[in-house]
């Protein structure tokens, strides 16, 4: 019986929290897009390569001075090994942000895309 009551209280608390959040301020999302993407030559002595990009941030629907997190998802190819999907987390700020990810000499980027953009408070 005690577990049932505890579960009921917990469910009620979560519902109340969700309802109060929905009544609060609305959230919007900035629009992010890749502008300039490069994959460097191998750099001695480590022979690593650097993937860089400039990500434009259109936060015109957001409140002033908004910022938040976003992820870039990558499909990485490796000479000897399977394709690997992974994500790197960055902070978005208008009007743009430069991002970098290191890769070893035997790796290449097959695909990349913007993922999981954090919402912002809507502007006036």
Q: How far apart are CA 65 and CA 59, in angstroms?
A: 9
Give the separation between CA 124 and CA 120, rounded to whole angstroms. 12
The per-residue pLDDT of the chain, averaged, comes to: 84
pLDDT band at residue 15 using 50, 70 and 90 as cut-offs: very low
pTM above 0.85, yes or no: no
Sketch the domain layout of the chain as residue ranges. Answer: 26-121
Residue 24 has a pLDDT of 54
Helices (H), the chain: 2-23
pLDDT value of residue 20: 40
Q: Dmax over Cα atoms in the chain, in whole Å? A: 67
For the chain, percent of residues with pLDDT exceeding 70: 80
Q: Under CATH, which number does the domain 26-121 receive?
A: 2.60.40
Between β-strands 31-39 and 84-92, what pairing exists: parallel, antiparallel or unpaired? unpaired
CA distance 51 to 98: 11
- pLDDT of residue 99 exceeding 70, the answer is yes
């Amino acid at each position: 019986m005690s577990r049932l009551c505890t579960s009921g209280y917990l469910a009620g608390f979560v519902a109340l929290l969700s309802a109060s959040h929905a009544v609060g301020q609305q959230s919007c999302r900035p629009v992010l897009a890749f502008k300039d993407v490069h994959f460097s030559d191998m750099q001695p002595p480590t022979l690593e390569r650097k993937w860089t990009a400039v990500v434009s941030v259109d936060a015109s629907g957001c409140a002033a001075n908004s910022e938040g997190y976003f992820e870039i998802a990558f499909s990485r190819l490796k000479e000897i090994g399977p394709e690997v999907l992974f994500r790197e987390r960055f902070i978005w700020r208008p009007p743009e942000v430069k991002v970098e990810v290191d890769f070893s000499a035997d790796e290449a980027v097959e695909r990349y895309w913007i993922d999981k953009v954090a919402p912002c408070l809507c502007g006036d």
